Amino acid sequence: MTCAVVIFVALATFEVVRGIYVATPRDLILDSREAKAIRMIRAGHPDIVLHPVDVLSTNKGDPAWRNSLTKFHAFALTNHTRVLAFDSDSLILDNINFLFLAPNSPVAVPRAYWLTEREDDVVAKQILGSHIMLIEPNIHRYQRIIDQGVRNGDLDMEILNTLFQDSATILPHRRLALLTGEFRNKDHRKYLAPDEDEEWNAMGEVSRAYLVHFSDRPLPKPWKPRTEAQWQMALPACLDDDVETPDRPSCADRFMWTGFYTDYDHDRELYCRALIT
């Protein structure tokens, strides 16, 4: 089980609106380490609502994504008019309450900018990202999503694009859909779009971002063990001419990237001891 409490602590730190739900497996064994940790977390954070759900799995794609459909249970939270759902492999960097002021829409998501392909003047095909979703819970839509997943075995992004590609409201990917993998890229034009000619500034982008999503395959997610070899292979490049300037440190991409993992490891050790000991 991932340590979602890291996210909850960040939400509390940034005074995000109340009504925090964590989806927990319905079949969790009561005396398991995970169950005990969840009860401890709930005792320390009474505003967190534990929401038992059936884990939705598919045999399609990478094993790391096979339970990704479970997030769609958020569409069944019809006691709320709007829900902001995001993956547990994220770090909250700033207050995100403003998203609830967005115009009403059944689904509002950023584009999966890293998958955008454009040839000459041809309009790029829009691909929706699913790691953060502002949704209006609705039982009919919820059932359509579940039926689609069960019938086709699709992954979360595939379902989202099949059902909502032509109707979803688009949130800006910059600041809301920053991937850790972006700091390993040499070409940042897709992320900087429509200002592709703007100079990439790793520290500046982090200071403006609301959320960062861990995405560095084949490096494991931050709560899973990693070898030194995997870590070294994933490190962003640090070139000899990448020197310190007044507005950024030397090797800024590596500095910011390692900082995400260091911060996560620190918070996980601090708040999730019951899950890792």
- Res. 259: pLDDT tops 90: yes
**Is residue 258 predicted with pLDDT exceeding 90?**
yes
Report residue 44: phi and psi, to 5°. Answer: -85, -15
232/217 Cα distance (integer angstroms): 13
User: What are the CA-CA distances from residue 145 to residues 27, 76, 107 (Å)?
Assistant: 22, 11, 12
What pLDDT is attached to residue 239? 78
Q: What is the pLDDT of residues 34-73, one digit of tens each?
A: 777 677 767 777 777 878 888 777 666 565 666 778 889 9
Q: Which helix (H) or strand (E) holds 211?
A: strand 211-213
3-class DSSP state of 103? coil
Mean pLDDT, the chain, whole residue set: 85
Nearest 5°: CA angle at 28, between 22 and 34? 70
The predicted-structure confidence for 82-125, as pLDDT tens digits, reads as follows: 999 988 889 999 999 999 999 999 999 999 999 887 655 555 57
* pLDDT score recorded for residue 151: 82
- CATH class of the 5-276 domain in this structure: alpha beta
pLDDT in tens, 199-239: 999 999 999 999 999 999 999 999 889 999 999 999 999 97
Tell me the whole-structure pTM to 2 decimals: 0.86
107 and 164 in contact (C-beta within 8 Å)?
yes
